[in-house]
Amino acid sequence: MTQKSNKIDEEALAEAYNRALTLEKSGNFDAAAAAYREVLDLDPEDHGGASVRLASMGRGETPLKAPDAYVATLFDQHADVFDNVLVDQLDYCVPLLVRQRVQALELGPFKRVLDLGCGTGLTGGALRDLAEDITGIDLSENMVEIAHEKDLYETLYVAEAVDFLDDNEEAPFDLIVATDVLPYMGALEALFFGAVDNLLPGGLLIFSSETLPDETFAGRPFMVGPHQRFAHSEAYLHDRLTATGFEVIEVTDITVRMEEGAPIAGQLVIARFL
C-alpha cells in the first residue's frame, strides 16, 4: 500500500497562480476565480492566499481569517525590506499613533506588554520606554529573527496570535497591543476572548483596524477589501468588544497606510477589560 504524497506540485501551482493573477488583473474575474480554485486544489494550506483573493473579487465566501500559511509566507518573504517598505513607502505610523494616544490619555507605564503580530518590532520600539517587560508574537520566523536582533523584547515567540492566547500559561498582561493584525483576521471573537483570558482586570487592549464605507459593507460585519486585507465595521468592533467584557475607551479615525497613492482608512481602538 503506497502512502499518498502531500508534496505540492510547485510547477503546476506557480502556473495556476500566475494565470489567476493575470486574469484577475485583466478584469476576467470568473476565469480568475476558476484558476484560484485550481490553486487551492494544488495547495490546500493556501500559501498564496487564493481564498482571500477569491473573497476580494466577490467570487468566494469570506473566510474567518487569512490562512496561517499565507500570512507566514507573505511576511517571511518581505521581512528584510519590511521596515523600509512599510514606513518609508507606505507611510505606516500606527505604532507612533499608539504611543501618542497612550500618552495623551495618561495610560501606563506598563509592567507586562504583549505585542501580537510584532513583526520586526516597530510597536515594541515605540513602547519600549513605557514598559518593564514586552513579549512579542509573530507567525513569521524571519520577522521574529529581525525583532530579536533589535533587542527590544524580553521574550519572543513564533506563533499565531489566537493560538498563543489560548495556550499561554504565563502571568497576565496589563496591555495587549495588536497593530496591523486585524487586516488578516475576519471574525474577532476568538481574539477578544483570548485577550480577556490574558489580561489583568483593568488591563488594556489596543489595536488598529482597516475599514470601508458603510455602503460597501452593506450590513456585513467584516469583509475582504480590494487589497486582500480584512476590513471591519466600527459597529462590529464595538459590539464584539462589549459582548466580550471590554469598555471601549476611545476609537480614533486614522490613516493606516498608503496604498497605490491613496490613504487606507482605519481606526485605532483602545478598550479596557472590566
71 within a domain of the structure (yes/no): no
151 and 251 housed in the same domain: yes
Phi, psi of 3 (to 5 degrees): -80, 135
CA atoms within 13 A on the CB side of 187: 9
**Sites in the chain below the pLDDT cut of 70:** 1-6
Structural domain for 22, as ranges: 1-61
187 and 145 housed in the same domain: yes
pLDDT at position 82, please?
84
53 and 101 housed in the same domain: no
CATH number at 182 reads 3.40.50.150
26 and 162 housed in the same domain: no
Q: Burial code of 105-130, b = ≥16 C-beta within 10 A, e = fewer?
A: eebbebebbbbbbbbbbbbbbbbbeb
**Count of residues in the chain:** 274
Q: Burial code of 241-268, b = ≥16 C-beta within 10 A, e = fewer?
A: beebbbeeeebeebebbeeeeeebebbb
pLDDT at position 86, please?
84
Give the total number of structural domains in the chain.
Answer: 2
Query: What is the DSSP secondary-structure string of 28-64?
Result: -HHHHHHHHHHHHHH-TT-TT-HHHHHHHTTSSPPPS
188, with CB counted inside 10 A (0-12, 13-18, 19+), is buried
Task: Kindly report, residue by residue over 161-216, the tens digit of the pLDDT.
Answer: 999 999 999 999 999 999 999 999 999 999 999 999 999 999 999 999 999 999 99
57 and 97 housed in the same domain: no
95, with CB counted inside 10 A (0-12, 13-18, 19+), is buried
106 and 226 housed in the same domain: yes
37 and 168 housed in the same domain: no
pLDDT at position 9, please?
85
Interatomic CA distance for residues 107 and 221, integer angstroms:
30
pLDDT at position 78, please?
85
pLDDT at position 6, please?
62
pLDDT at position 85, please?
81
pLDDT at position 54, please?
95
pLDDT at position 73, please?
92
269 within a domain of the structure (yes/no): yes
254 and 190 housed in the same domain: yes
